[in-house]
Amino acid sequence: MNLSVTASGLGLAALAAWLLAGALAAGDAGQSLDAGNAPPADARAAFARPEGLPAGAAPLSPAVVDLGRLLFNDTRLSGDGTLACASCHQAQLAFTDGQALHAGRNGKPLARHTPHLWNLAWSETLFWDGRAKSLEAQARGPVENPQEMAGSMATAVLRLKADPAMVASFARAFPGRTAVDEISVTEAIGAFERGLVSPITRFDRWVTGDETALDRDEKAGFALFTGKAQCTACHSSWRFTDEAFHDIGLPDTGDLGRGAQLQLPAANHGFKTPSLRELAWTAPYMHDGSLPTLEAVIEHYAGGVARRPTLSKDMPPVLALTAEERQQLVAFLGALSSEEPPRPPQTLPKVELSSPDAQTAPVAATTISQKDKRFTPGRVKIAAGQSLTIVNDDKRTHNVRIDDPRLTFTSNAQEAGDSVVIAFPEPGRFGIICSIHPAMKLDVTVERQQSLLQHGPKP
Amino acid sequence: MKTRKLWLGLGAAALSSTMTPVAPQAASSATAIDAAAQASRCPAPARMQLAENTQPPAHSHGTPEKAASGAEGGEGGEGSPAAADADARLEPSLRFYRDIQLVRGHLLVGDELIKAGRWADALPHFLHPVEELYDKLAPVLKDMKLKPFLAQLKSLAQTVKAKNQGAYEAALTAVEGRLDPVDASMKAAKKDWMPFAVETALETFRSSYGEYSESIEGGKFAKAVEYQDSRGFVWQAERLIASVAGELDAKHPEAAQKLRAELAVLKTAWPAVLPPAAPVLDASQVAGAISKIELALGNVK
């Protein structure tokens, strides 16, 4: 077991130590969790809920969110006036549709399963293949998709403008703006979606110290999830996602997912790691809706994985689970869901004051590591004219990318051991991401030559 | 009409030799299994009513060897003054399995309503198992090492609220995927499955009567939900009997034949999933028909 990989995120050392102790003590995850042998606080801290929406997000205004809710339920957004967002993302069904694949306009099933919409304020990308970068950009997709709402934003805006009640709602939501327009429509829908923060669960209470919140099986399931089963290699953080795209070896249906989106065969069959919250309410599962129950999901990981070259390197080579262990994993997943059908919070979430990352000062460096799905250092400064060398010292395939009008760059599939060299001729600030693991971010400040001379960078 | 009243008398008399005894006063029992399977709201009136003429009976033919849960003890001595109420006095595994039939009966009639496009009418039948029955089932399921299905039931009710056909079908399959192992596990736990299934069906008929009598006020159906509950229970009891029909026919051909005839009479009370303008059978006639079924099945072993 590679502990440094499983124990991603915060509290890594403590978690690893605990897992190791558990493994040595009993070799049985269930037994290592009896009373008095609970995981250390740090292991849980890796899953602690944030205080509010990510720092930097625009604060949510009740009037905008209300407007967003109206629009989300408004069939006028569809071409023939029959479908709303809520037709597929049904609030009673945890904002999903409870079906493997929704039928499209032509009667044939849509290509992919309707995902739930919880906690998307934290999502780096949207859609199973990550093709939208913001909720606002995403909202246009279904409206104009000929198999979904088969409409156009322009027409929708005309219809809304003709409705005095709607015009009034827009005026309340956006007092500074004169007209109902496409930007306001997508902003309001985006704000409504950002407000969909999933309720506190028993797992959250356990994370914050309530020992009684989980039962024995659920705790054993947590130990398996973070240990032997290596689920946290991908399902990390409080949302249980690394925001990355992985091929987990589901049967090939011809959908190339992220690979098609990036035109990058190495990312074929890669789909976004879904959050694991509220899954009790969102069956069936996976991008193709092919797995009806959580039991079926565990069956897949423990024996149903198709081995092919694109299979994620974060997938364990084999996963042998006993019947009891499978049931414990399912029990643990259950504890990540509300006991009653989840509903949007009564009060709108606040925005967090600052993110820890934002405070670290950039360091002068020209070589960057990619170990453990992380650019290190994460904030660098270099001099104009210098180059950055990005070394894949990780076990995974990466894809380094800059999307900036001043400088666009994309590496090919950057396999373990490959280095990428990027020259920065002009001063400015640039963001680099890995488009297979979009949570990997590198912030590059390119300074005018003189100001960096004292650091003596390599030529 | 007259003949049916006669049947009621007959049946009630016959009860004394075929049914578990009944003590009308409820008292809470200490064992986990009893707590697990306390009297359900629905069946209590049925027992009271049908048991009016009962004498302390002979040992019930259907008393199973052992509680399926493996809980030791079960009820206190039969007929003892400390006995719990009618329902609580049922042998625990019988009570548990009867409650499973009630869950299925609710789903059955709910499904009928959905097939008729009546989602709103169907909803109570999907909420009822969670609200009225599941709490009693949960500890027994756990004891029997069977998977819980509360989340599945709640999800199913959500799909009905959402009036979403595809989601409903998937969620129903998920619930059935949890109920089927209950049947399998009960079968494995019972030496004499057929008589136990028959006994369970009888209990389910009795529950049906309770709902049916509650649904009628002033000679009219005042509560459609209870009417539908009672229909669902009868249809489910019939299904349960059908599942052992082969053995029943082979061992007790006469009883099986009688049962079919009486069941046909009983079922005329529910001409459709929505209540008729006026009851086809009044409550005592339904009780009578059920008594006749009990009589028919009285010697099934």
Domain of A397: which CATH number? 2.60.40.420
Same domain, A104 and A81: yes
Same domain, A69 and A186: yes
Which domain, by its residues, includes A371?
360-455
Report pLDDT digits (tens) over A150-206.
999 999 999 999 999 999 999 999 998 888 999 999 999 999 999 999 999 999 999
* Residue A339 within a domain: no
* Residue A353 within a domain: no
CB-CB neighbours of A99 under 10 Å = 24
* Residue A248 within a domain: yes
Interior/surface letters A370-401, b for 16+ CB within 10 angstroms, e for the rest: bebbbbebebbbbbbebebebbbebebbbbbb
Q: Looking at the partner chain, which of B147, B155, B162 has a beta carbon nearest the beta carbon of A283?
A: B155
Query: Which residue on chain B is closest to A96 by alpha carbon?
Result: B167
Q: Looking at the partner chain, which of B159, B168, B170 has a beta carbon nearest the beta carbon of A284?
A: B170
B159 contacts in chain A (CB < 8 Å): 92-93, 98
Domain-terminating residue out of A272, A300, A334: A334
Helix (H, G, I), strand (E, B) or coil at B36: helix
| Residue in A219, A231, A225 with CA at minimum distance from that of residue A274 | A231
In this complex, do B167 and A341 lie within 8 Å of one another by their Cβ atoms?
Answer: no
Helix boundaries (H) for chain B: 2-18, 32-36, 44-50, 92-115, 119-128, 134-143, 150-161, 165-189, 193-215, 224-243, 245-251, 253-267, 283-296
Mean pLDDT of A27-34: 40
Residue type present at position A287:
H
Helix boundaries (H) for A37-180: 41-45, 62-72, 85-88, 135-144, 153-161, 164-173
Is B173 touching A (CB cutoff 8 A)? yes
Give the pLDDT of residue B13: 36
Same domain, A243 and A330: yes
Residue B295 · residue B14 · CB < 8 Å: yes
Residue A360 · residue A378 · CB < 8 Å: yes
* Residue A4 within a domain: no
Prediction pTM value: 0.82
- Residue identified by tokens 């007092």 is A175
Query: Which residue on chain A is closest to B168 by alpha carbon?
Result: A98
Which residue in B147, B164, B175, B176 has the most chain A C-beta atoms within 10 A of its own C-beta, making it the best mutation to test that interface? B164
Q: In chain B, what is the straight-line distance between the N-terminal and C-terminal CA atoms, in Å? A: 32
How close, in Å, is residue B154 to chain A by CA atoms?
8
Would strands A245-246 and A400-404 be described as parallel, antiparallel, or unpaired?
Answer: unpaired
Residue A240 · residue A249 · CB < 8 Å: no
pLDDT band at A361 (very low <50, low <70, confident <90, very high): confident
Q: Looking at the partner chain, which of B154, B155, B167 has a beta carbon nearest the beta carbon of A97?
A: B167
B114 contacts in chain A (CB < 8 Å): none
Query: Is the model more confident about A323 or about B5?
Result: A323
Report pLDDT digits (tens) over A227-254.
999 999 999 999 999 999 999 999 999 9
| Count of CB pairs separated by less than 8 Å, A with B | 52
Domain-terminating residue out of A194, A228, A263: A194
Residue B51 · residue B158 · CB < 8 Å: no
B155 contacts in chain A (CB < 8 Å): 98, 280-281, 283
B168 contacts in chain A (CB < 8 Å): 98
C-alpha distances (whole Å) from B141 to each of A224, B69, B130, B144, B191 are 24, 8, 14, 5, 19
Say if residue A324's pLDDT is above 70. Answer: yes
% of chain A residues with pLDDT over 70: 88
In this complex, do A341 and B158 lie within 8 Å of one another by their Cβ atoms?
Answer: yes
Residue type present at position B208:
S
Mean pLDDT of A353-364: 76
Same domain, A225 and A258: yes
Same domain, A188 and A216: no
Say if residue A6's pLDDT is above 90. Answer: no
Q: Looking at the partner chain, which of A98, A327, A341 has a beta carbon nearest the beta carbon of B171?
A: A98
How close, in Å, is residue B168 to chain A by CA atoms?
8
Give the pLDDT of residue A453: 53
- Residue identified by tokens 């006469």 is B254
Say if residue A296's pLDDT is above 60. Answer: yes
Q: Name the domain count of chain A.
A: 3
Domain-terminating residue out of A141, A169, A194: A194
Give the pLDDT of residue A455: 54
Give the pLDDT of residue A352: 85
CB-CB neighbours of A359 under 10 Å = 8
122-161 in chain B: CB under 8 A from chain A: 147, 151, 154-155, 158-159, 161
In this complex, do A97 and B166 lie within 8 Å of one another by their Cβ atoms?
Answer: yes
Same domain, A47 and A75: no
Query: Which residue on chain B is closest to A328 by alpha carbon?
Result: B147
CATH number of the domain at A160, please. Answer: 1.10.760.10
Which residue in A73, A97, A298, A329 has the most chain B C-beta atoms within 10 A of its own C-beta, making it the best mutation to test that interface? A97
Query: Which residue on chain B is closest to A99 by alpha carbon?
Result: B167
In this complex, do A281 and B171 lie within 8 Å of one another by their Cβ atoms?
Answer: no
Phi and psi at residue A304, in whole multiples of 5°?
-100, 10
* Residue A76 within a domain: yes
In chain B, which stretches have pLDDT less than 70?
A: 1-85
Say if residue A81's pLDDT is above 90. Answer: yes
Across all residues in chain A, what is the average pLDDT?
88
Give the pLDDT of residue B71: 34
Residue A435 · residue A410 · CB < 8 Å: yes
Helix (H, G, I), strand (E, B) or coil at A203: helix
Mean pLDDT of A96-113: 94
Helix (H, G, I), strand (E, B) or coil at B168: helix
A102 contacts in chain B (CB < 8 Å): 166
For chain B, give every domain's residue range.
90-189, 192-301
CB-CB neighbours of A41 under 10 Å = 13
Is B28 touching A (CB cutoff 8 A)? no
Which residue in A83, A92, A285 has the most chain B C-beta atoms within 10 A of its own C-beta, making it the best mutation to test that interface? A92
Same domain, A381 and A327: no
A327 contacts in chain B (CB < 8 Å): 147
Give the pLDDT of residue A382: 95
Interior/surface letters B225-245, b for 16+ CB within 10 angstroms, e for the rest: bbbbbbbbbbbbbbebbebbe
DSSP string of A100-129, one letter each residue: SS-B-TTSSBPSSPPPP-TTGGG-SSBSTT
Which residue in A83, A96, A99 has the most chain B C-beta atoms within 10 A of its own C-beta, making it the best mutation to test that interface? A99
Residue B214 · residue B226 · CB < 8 Å: yes
Which residue in A88, A93, A328 has the most chain B C-beta atoms within 10 A of its own C-beta, making it the best mutation to test that interface? A93
Residue A127 · residue A138 · CB < 8 Å: yes
C-alpha distances (whole Å) from A6 to each of A173, A201, A228, B228, B287 are 45, 23, 9, 53, 64
Same domain, A236 and A315: yes
How close, in Å, is residue A80 to chain B by CA atoms?
20
pLDDT band at A360 (very low <50, low <70, confident <90, very high): confident
In this complex, do A93 and B164 lie within 8 Å of one another by their Cβ atoms?
Answer: yes
Same domain, A25 and A79: no
Dihedral through CA B19, CA B25, CA B28, CA B31, nearest 10? -20
Helix (H, G, I), strand (E, B) or coil at A271: strand
How close, in Å, is residue B265 to chain A by CA atoms?
41
Q: Looking at the partner chain, which of A94, A97, A293 has a beta carbon nearest the beta carbon of B174?
A: A293
Same domain, A306 and A371: no
B177 contacts in chain A (CB < 8 Å): 293
Which residue in B141, B146, B159 has the most chain A C-beta atoms within 10 A of its own C-beta, making it the best mutation to test that interface? B159
